[in-house]
Structure 1
Amino acid sequence: MTLPTLFIPHGGGPCFFMDPAGGPPDPMWRPMQAYLAGLIESLPERPRAILLVSGHWEEEEVTVNVGSGQPLLYDYYGFPEHTYRLRWDAPGAPDVARRAAELIAGAGFAVREEAERGWDHGVFIPMMVAVPGADIPLAQLSLRKDLDPAAHIAIGRALAPLRDEGVLIVGSGMSFHNLRARGPQVTPVADEWDAALADSVTDADPAARADRVARWEALPHARFAHPEAEHLLPLMVALGAGGDDRAVRDYRDHVLGWAVSGYRFG
C-alpha cells in the first residue's frame, strides 16, 4: 500500500508541553495538537518507519541521520526548565536513512551520512504528539542550505519509492513563520498569503502545482510570511514525494495571529 506524504506544522518551541504537570496546552494550540494526534490513525496503514525533514536542520549537502537512536536537541530558548527534560525515545531507522541516501544519490544529488546530531524540536515536539508511544522508528533528513525550492521538490520526487516500502515521509515546518509579526493585525495579511499558498499547493495539475510552489516568492506577502524560507522548504520535499497524487489541505487554524495550514499528498 502506498502511504501519503505530509507537510505538518510543528508549533512554536515546546508549545504542547508547557504545563509541568502534563496538562493540556494553551487553548490556542489545542486544534494543532488534535490534528497531530490523529495523523497516524488517519493513514491507510501504520508506517514501519518515518522519514522526516525538519525546518531546523540545514547542511551544505543533503544529509541523512543514520543513528540507531538519537538524543534530543533542545534548540529553543527561554522556555520553562521542565521543557528541557522532555523525552521521545523512538529508535532510529538507519536502514531507511541509507535507502533515502541511495535514492537521492541516484537522482544526481550529493548526499552524505552522519550519526551524531540530535533530533531537533521540529522532530520530537510534533512526534511526541503524533507517536506518543515512541514506537515507530524515525530517520531525519536535512534541508540543503541553498533552500532551492525546485531542488527540494526533485529530492522529494527521488524519495517517492519509500512510500511503497512502508515509510511515511513528513515535512515538518510552518506555513507561516515570521517571528517578528504576531497578533490580530497580522491576520489579514497571513490569510491572504495562506489562501494563495493553498491554491498553489492543491492545484489539480501536478506539473503546475510543482511550478507554482517552486515560485512561492511570487505569491502575495511571500517574504513577509517567510523572511527566511527554511520552515517552508519541508513542504517542497513532501510535495515532490507526493508526485502526481491529489493534494489536499487537511489542517487550517490560527495561532499567534497567523493562518497555519497542513497538507497531505495522496
Structure 2
Amino acid sequence: MSQVSTFTSSGTPSRLPALFISHGSPMLALVDSPAHKFLQELGKSLPRPAAIVVVSAHWESIGGAAVSLAQQPATIHDFGGFPRTLFDIQYPAPGAPQVGEHAAALLEEAGFAVSRSTTRGLDHGAWVPLYLMYPAADIPTLQVSVIRGATAAQHERLGWALAPLRDQGVLVIGSGSLTHNLYEFRGQEIDEPAQEWVTKFSDWMAEKLQNGDRDALLDYRQQAPYATRNHPTDEHLMPLYAAMGAGGAGAKVERLHSSNEYGILAMDAYAFG
C-alpha cells in the first residue's frame, strides 16, 4: 500500500482517497483471513476522516438515490444462517445528518432524484468493513444507496456528485464485492483456491482500472470475461463505479488488496484519487 497523505499542520484534513472495498461474507467480521487483516490495517493507514459515507450494495433504491439522515443509525443484521456471535455485534457509530443533507443536495444538483431517510441504519455492507477499519465506532457515518437498474455510468456519475465531500475530510467508500455469485457457494472452505472464472474477471478488472480504460469498464457486461457468471445481478459491482467517480476524472488508481475467499469471492480493494 502506498503512503496516504496526512492532516496538514493547519488542522485542515487532507483530501482522502475514495475507496472500493469488497465486503464478501458477513463472516468477514469474525474470521481471520487476508481480507480481514487488510481491513484492520487500512483504517490505521488513513488520516482520521471527519465523517464516512458508504455507498452500499445492500441498500437499493428505485428511481433515484437514497440518503440516510439517521442521528444514531442502528446496526442492521440483514442476513440469516450465521452464528449468534455475528448477530451480537453492534456498531454504534453516530450518524452524520448534516453531511447527509450535503450529499443529498450534491446529488440533486447532479440531476438525481433523492429520497431521504431518518431511520435507515447501517447494513452489513457498511458495518462489517467499518467494524474492522474503525473498531471504536466513533466516526460519524451515513449510507447512500445504489440505484436498482441504473448503469455503471450512472453510478460513476453518482460518485462524481459526491466527490466534493472529500474536500471536507469525508471518506467515501463504495462497499460491494468484486465478484459476487453466491449460487456457486457449495460449502467450500474459506481458503479454497479461486475458480478460473473468478480470477480471469478480477485480473481483467485490475488491468482496465490500472490502465484507466473507462470505456471498457463501463461496458464490463459485454467485455469482461465471465461477467454474468461473476455478477448474475449488478448491485455488488456498482459501488466500485461510485468510488471510481468519487475519485474524480483522471484519478490515480491503486489496487490496495487482492485475495479470494471460498473460491468464488474476489476480495479486491481499490483507492481512487
Same fold (TM over 0.5): yes
Equivalent in the alignment of 2:104: 101
> Is 2:237 aligned against 1:232?
yes
**Preserved contact between residue 24 and residue 177 of structure 2 (Cα < 8 Å):** yes
> Is 2:72 aligned against 1:65?
no
Relative to 1, partners in 2 of residues 1:257 and 1:69: Cα closer, same or farther, differing over 3 Å? same
**How far, CA to CA, are the matches of 1:185 and 1:251 in structure 2?**
17
Q: CA deviation at 1:147?
A: 3.2
After superposition, give the CA deviation of every residue in 1:95-151 in whole Å (9 maximum; x if it has no partner). Answer: 111111111111111112111122111111111111100011101000111131111
Instruction: Report how many residues are paired.
Output: 251
Residue in structure 1 matching 2:57, options 49, 55, 58: 55
Equivalent in the alignment of 1:196: 204
Residue in structure 1 matching 2:161, options 151, 158, 161: 158
Within-5 A mapping of 1:233-248: 233-243=238-248, 244-248=250-254
Relative to 1, partners in 2 of residues 1:147 and 1:185: Cα closer, same or farther, differing over 3 Å? farther
Output the TM-score relative to the length of structure 2. 0.88
**How far, CA to CA, are the matches of 1:147 and 1:75 in structure 2?**
23
Equivalent in the alignment of 2:89: 86
Equivalent in the alignment of 2:25: 12
Equivalent in the alignment of 2:220: 216
After superposition, give the CA deviation of every residue in 1:2-53 in whole Å (9 maximum; x if it has no partner). Answer: 1100000112023332xxxxxxx2xxx521111111222222x211100001
Output the TM-score relative to the length of structure 1. 0.90
Provide the alpha-carbon RMSD of the alignment. Answer: 1.4
**Preserved contact between residue 122 and residue 142 of structure 2 (Cα < 8 Å):** no
Q: CA deviation at 1:185?
A: 7.7
Q: Which amino acid aligns with 1:246?
A: K
Equivalent in the alignment of 2:267: 260
Residue in structure 1 matching 2:117, options 114, 117, 121: 114
**Preserved contact between residue 14 and residue 121 of structure 1 (Cα < 8 Å):** no
**Preserved contact between residue 194 and residue 260 of structure 1 (Cα < 8 Å):** no
Equivalent in the alignment of 1:20: none
**Preserved contact between residue 55 and residue 231 of structure 1 (Cα < 8 Å):** yes
Q: CA deviation at 1:152?
A: 0.6
Unaligned runs of 5+ in 2: 1-13
Q: CA deviation at 1:83?
A: 1.8
**How far, CA to CA, are the matches of 2:85 and 2:104 in structure 1?**
36
